[in-house]
A = this chain, B = another copy of it.
Amino acid sequence: MFISKTSEYALKVLTYMALKNATQFSAQSLYVELDIPKRYLMRLLTDLSKSGFIKATRGRSGGYIFARPIDTIYFSEIINSVEDLQSFEGCVLGNAVCPVDKPCAMHHIWEKPKQAFLETIKTTTLADLL
């Protein structure tokens, strides 16, 4: 499972845009390139727009462009905008946070993969794809 389908879509869209280096992307053009249900994609684009990653211009020759320099957009921020990143920080056996005094049975074993994941998404930006 790892991340939600919507996170997957969001990453797909933004990584595509980051690599393609076009000035503007219409929902239609993204739809034909990426394998995401059209209407779902369109709503996602508005969401990503509201979240401040991209900027929409409406109307006949409209579309989306990045709203910020891509070296300021961390993967953690993208994922966090469509699902709760907190669920990754917490305990794998369900505690809201890892209690420092009394960690769960899996705490130690879980530490490495958990940190690898969090560190990767927190220290990597879209620009690192280039």
Residues of A at the B interface (CB closer than 8 Å) are 1-4, 8, 11-12, 15-16, 18-19, 35, 75, 83, 87-88, 92-94, 104-106, 109-110, 112-113, 116-117, 119-121, 124, 128-129
Contact = CB atoms under 8 A, between A and B. Distances in A.
Copies of this chain in its oligomeric complex: 2
18 contacts: A1-B1, A1-B4, A1-B87, A1-B88, A2-B117, A8-B92, A11-B106, A15-B105, A15-B106, A19-B105, A106-B129, A109-B129, A112-B120, A113-B117, A113-B119, A113-B120, A116-B116, A117-B117
Contacts of A87: 1-2
A93 B18 CA distance: 15
A112 B116 CA distance: 7
A101 to B, nearest CB: 17
Contacts of A2: 1-2, 87-88, 92, 117
Contacts of A112: 116, 120
Main secondary structure of the interface of A (DSSP, over half): helix
